[in-house]
Amino acid sequence: RGGPKNLPVVEVFVDDSDSDEKRRTKNKPKLVVLGGGWGGVALLKDLNPDDYHVTVISPANYFLFTPMLPSATVGTLELRSLVEPIRRIISRVHGHFVRAKAEDIEFSDKLVEVSQLDPRGNEVRFYVPYDKLVVAVGSVTNPHGVKGLDNAFFLKDIDDARKIRNKVIHNLELACLPTMSDDERKRLLSFVISGGGPTGVEFAAELFDLLNEDLTRHFPRLLRNEISVHLIQSRSHILNTYDDAVSKYAEERFARDQVQVLTNSRVKEVQPDKIIFTQKQDDGSLVTKELPAGFCLWSTGVSQTALCQKLAQKLGNFQTNHHALETDTHLRLNGAPLGDVYAIGDCSTVQNNVADHIISFLRTLAWKRGSDPETLQLHFSDWRQVAQDVKKRFPQAVNHLKRLDKLFAEFDKDQSGTLDFGELRELLNQIDSKLTSLPATAQRAHQQGHYLARKFNKMARLSEGLTANDIRDGDLDAAVYKAFEYHHLGSLAYIGNSAVFDLGDGWSVAGGLWAVYAWRSVYFAQSVSFRTRSLMAMDWAKRGLFGRDLMS
């Protein structure tokens, strides 16, 4: 027992000198990873075996290939094909798996507080000790304080996908019953998606494909014009973090496919049989509307897990972002003892001080002109230069800042055509608050996990013969390895049998079969194992031959 709460301290590793494996890692530092998602798994994939005692703690015993989750909801892919047992992944590094939930971290004692349910359903708590800890617990769906979300469906985990699939099929079956009234049938066949980000858009596209391709064959009683798909988006465009051309393409595509897109609209309440939402009119007024619905998907973004909220609170002034845990550029959790705790993936963000960077850029500009920065009047052409510089240095910012030009006009309050220092300060504040967040994508979590693995490998090599205690001292991170840099490789969204690519610099849109295969091959390459790849290939082949699997 030990720690502030005097809970049992669990040594996950059995000291077994008969086993070669265990002898090899006996005196190695204990590396504990919280979460077996994109970030955690990328780390495990690239870590050298036997450099660390590896323990993964997660309530889920599988890795989930999230980009394909929308396809699984409508039976294009089998749910089983999207998951990979975490124990399989860990075995390469001879690690251990503890199926439990991290509740808290005692930074000074280096203990993770963990909870688990015993067979009687009582909660058991204990500590797992670490030398190095990686927090990669991801995020939770953001409820935005909306009423009646227990009537909505989410799309975050494999169980969610299963529930959605069963609900969609159930609605179709009910709608076929001869006793069903016309109104009730139309309601059952009205599918509403709240959230016009990639998840909502991909789900809408998959649903539309299902309704179009398989329905007439398997549910001949249903009339296509009785089915409706509605996408509710709070902004003025769907896929609004993508390039304008991409969101325009997606909107046109949906218009042609008769997916109704309701922009400038916010869901206020989800009732069992209808959605209440407000829509902003051209004159700025809000009108409340209703939409009968047989199904509602809630996919309006993510927020912090309970664990991360607790950690941020505990670390007080070191943590100022309300959406994610802040790390330094070596991905070390700000406020925790240096080099002990790292945070990666959706749960984290790297502080990059864009505002500082811009200010030093402006100082240089003022200096070149021989003027005082405080009295500098920034013209639009200067601003373009600043914007270009920011885009180059902070490529992850491009998505958030695609309207940099418009910002200038917005912050030029007196419409003088120049920004004075006060106006500029306001603008920088807004930019900084937006830019501290890296995108919540698998791509980013993967890059960060990969980065940590490389660094940890290097640390272990340099510290051969040293004990865990030696490794802890000093700023080893900066000494052995470079800072983390995010590389934006473009975003990808799937829109009904054609893929939309947004590759950062420029954009390209492709349609037809070629696009589908390009899209699939991107995910094939990202997919974690040969096992998963084969299963997906078989699913696609099966769907091609026999249509979707419509059993619940």
- Nearest residue (CB) to Mg ion, 163 versus 268: 163
Q: Which long-range contacts (CB under 8 A, 24 or more apart) does 178-184 make?
A: 183/292
Query: Please, what is the minimum distance in Å from the beta carbon of residue 444 to ligand FAD?
Result: 7
338-397 residues near ligand FAD, rule: CB under 6 A: 345-347
Residue in 36, 75, 200, 294 binding ligand FAD, rule: CB under 6 A: 36
Query: Please, what is the minimum distance in Å from the beta carbon of residue 358 to ligand FAD?
Result: 28
Q: Pick from ligand FAD, Mg ion, none: which does 251 bind, CB < 5 to 8 A by kind?
A: none
Q: Give the burial class of 331: count Cβ atoms within 10 A of its Cβ; 0-12 exposed, 13-18 middle, 19 or more buried.
A: buried
- Nearest residue (CB) to ligand FAD, 110 versus 274: 110
> Which residues are within 8 A (CB) of 193 and not within 5 positions of it... i.e. 6 or more apart?
200, 203, 204, 207, 229, 230, 231, 232, 296, 297, 299
Residue 137 lies near ligand FAD (rule: CB under 6 A): yes
How far apart are the C-alpha atoms of 313 and 317, rounded to whole Å?
Answer: 9
Query: Please, what is the minimum distance in Å from the beta carbon of residue 414 to ligand FAD?
Result: 41
Residue 35 lies near ligand FAD (rule: CB under 6 A): yes
Residue in 90, 128, 134, 136 binding ligand FAD, rule: CB under 6 A: 136
Q: Which long-range contacts (CB under 8 A, 24 or more apart) does 186-190 make?
A: 186/226, 186/228, 186/292, 187/273, 187/274, 187/292, 187/293, 187/294, 188/294, 189/222, 189/226, 189/227, 189/228, 189/294, 190/227, 190/228, 190/230, 190/291, 190/292, 190/293, 190/294, 190/295
How far apart are the C-alpha atoms of 447 and 426, rounded to whole Å?
Answer: 32
> Which residues are within 8 A (CB) of 26 and not within 5 positions of it... i.e. 6 or more apart?
15, 17
Residue 42 · residue 445 · CB < 8 Å: yes
Footprint of Mg ion (CB under 5 A): 35, 37, 39-40, 64, 136, 138, 345-347, 412, 414, 416
- Nearest residue (CB) to ligand FAD, 143 versus 474: 143
Q: Which amino acid is at 548?
A: R
- Nearest residue (CB) to Mg ion, 179 versus 375: 375
Reading the block at residue 7, the tokens are 């809970």
Residue 40 lies near ligand FAD (rule: CB under 6 A): yes
Residue 38 lies near ligand FAD (rule: CB under 6 A): yes
Q: Of the ranges 130-138, 213-221, 369-377, 541-549, which one interacts with ligand FAD (CB under 6 A)?
A: 130-138
Q: Pick from Mg ion, ligand FAD, none: which does 412 bind, CB < 5 to 8 A by kind?
A: Mg ion
Residue in 30, 44, 52, 70 binding ligand FAD, rule: CB under 6 A: 70
Residue in 37, 196, 335, 339 binding ligand FAD, rule: CB under 6 A: 37
Rg (CA), the chain: 26
Reading the block at residue 479, the tokens are 């000494």
Residue 266 · residue 296 · CB < 8 Å: no
Residue 55 lies near ligand FAD (rule: CB under 6 A): no
Query: Please, what is the minimum distance in Å from the beta carbon of residue 138 to ligand FAD?
Result: 3
- β-partners of residue 343 are 135
Residue 135 lies near ligand FAD (rule: CB under 6 A): no
Residue 197 lies near ligand FAD (rule: CB under 6 A): no
Residues near ligand FAD (CB under 6 A) are 34-40, 57-60, 66-67, 69-70, 101-102, 136-138, 155-156, 199, 305, 307, 345-347, 440-443, 445
